[in-house]
Amino acid sequence: MRVDAIPLVRPSLGERELAAVAQVFASGWPAGQGPSGKALEADLTRRYGVADAVAVSNCGAALHLALLALGVTEGDEVIVADYTFPAPAHAARYVGATPVFADVRPDTGTVDPQAVAALIGPRTVGVIAVDTLGLPADYDELNDLTRRHGLFLVEDAACAIGATYRGRPAGALAPVACLSFHGRKGITSGEGGALLTTDPALAVDARLRSSFGIGSIFDQAQVVGLPIPEFTEIGYNYKLSDIAAAILQVQLTRIEELLERRRAVAAHYAHLLADEDLVTLPHVPDDRSHAWQSYLVTLHPDVDRATVATALRTHGIGCGHGTWASHRQPVYASSQHCPVSADLARRNLAIPMHAELTPDQVERVVATLRTALHTRTRAGAA
């Protein structure tokens, strides 16, 4: 990477996180479900006001465990938000269910409750909504809809730590929620995730399955004698290491600090690009706040995204395509059509967003982007 490069993402990790890792090394228990993991789960439970939290290896694992605990099985249909990384649809496939893709709002990119309602059928058992790129979906409508039809609702809050919806935190907007602590999220341990739930029994099921179906070896090691674990479920190795958990305990205390820095970056972008006709800026409704995991601009149809991206990268500026129209991925071979999602997937461009960006770097990104936009429209590139 060039010395003056501006990466698309960069984690905010420092001496406090290193000190927490050193404490885990000294404890002699770096594996999962140890003291740091238990402390992290308690911190998450308090922060989100849920019945329980289960720390796991990633958000995809949390989604899988959620569907298992909810009893989803072969022949069921799960309605999933289309405009997103396709982890929700993958989770449905993991348990033998069929993902049914719901289109999204054109202004926010979050799942459209009316699209969800139109897809409910006799085989529908639940809905996975997504807080798209850090912006919560319409949970009042979604909770009402799923309750009326007797369906479960899962909140995929992978991108939304720190965001809010009508005064409530993302991660506590549905009876089950899944978080991600991947390297590009608002807080991170490199990899990691959590399942949050208002149902204690669901948490017990998820925790058991996350550890091969035998529960916590750490807990069993505290028992005098020689307890012999019994495998009561077909489980998975989805545990979060205590090293990662210790990092996250520190990161949890920094959510507001890091989010404020991301908000400042987003506000600077919005100010500098306010008069740019070739892009549409992110829209945040008044009743919610954004976690700014990513900053996406929607390009004018005449702009050639690939050549703009090439120009940015040539100048050392990271960028990306945004996210996916999941129904169009070959793995699903879906005959559905989600036109709003497909359009956003064609025209959205991610530009650098992280808490380490300086005002000078934001200005350089915008200046380079403007030049690229006005010299690389489809007509100009022809």
What are 290-342's pLDDT values in tens digits?
999 999 999 999 999 999 999 999 999 999 999 999 999 999 988 899 999 99
* Average pLDDT of every residue of the chain: 95
How far apart CA 158 and CA 108 sit, in angstroms, is 16
Residue type, 112: D
CB 62 within 8 A of CB 83: no
Model confidence, pTM:
0.95
Alpha helix ranges (H) inside 233-283: 242-252, 255-272
How far apart CA 30 and CA 381 sit, in angstroms, is 54
The catalytic position among 90, 105, 182, 185 is: 185
Examine the pLDDT at 274 and tell me if it is beyond 90.
yes
What pLDDT shows up at residue 70?
Answer: 98
Examine the pLDDT at 228 and tell me if it is beyond 90.
no
What are 21-68's pLDDT values in tens digits?
999 999 998 988 899 999 999 999 999 999 999 999 999 999 999 999
Domains of the chain and CATH, by start: 15-252 (3.40.640.10), 256-381 (3.90.1150.10)
CB 29 within 8 A of CB 35: yes
Name the strand (E) or helix (H) holding 279: strand 279-280
Per the annotation, the verdict on 239 as an active-site residue is: no
What pLDDT shows up at residue 333?
Answer: 82
The torsion region of residue 337 among left (phi > 0), alpha (psi -120 to 50) and beta comes to beta
* Average confidence (pLDDT) over 344-352: 98
3-state secondary structure 61-127: HHHHHHHHHCCCCCCCEEEEECECCCHHHHHHHHCCCEEEEECECCCCCCECHHHHHHHCCCCEEEE
**Which has more confidence, 232 or 370?**
370
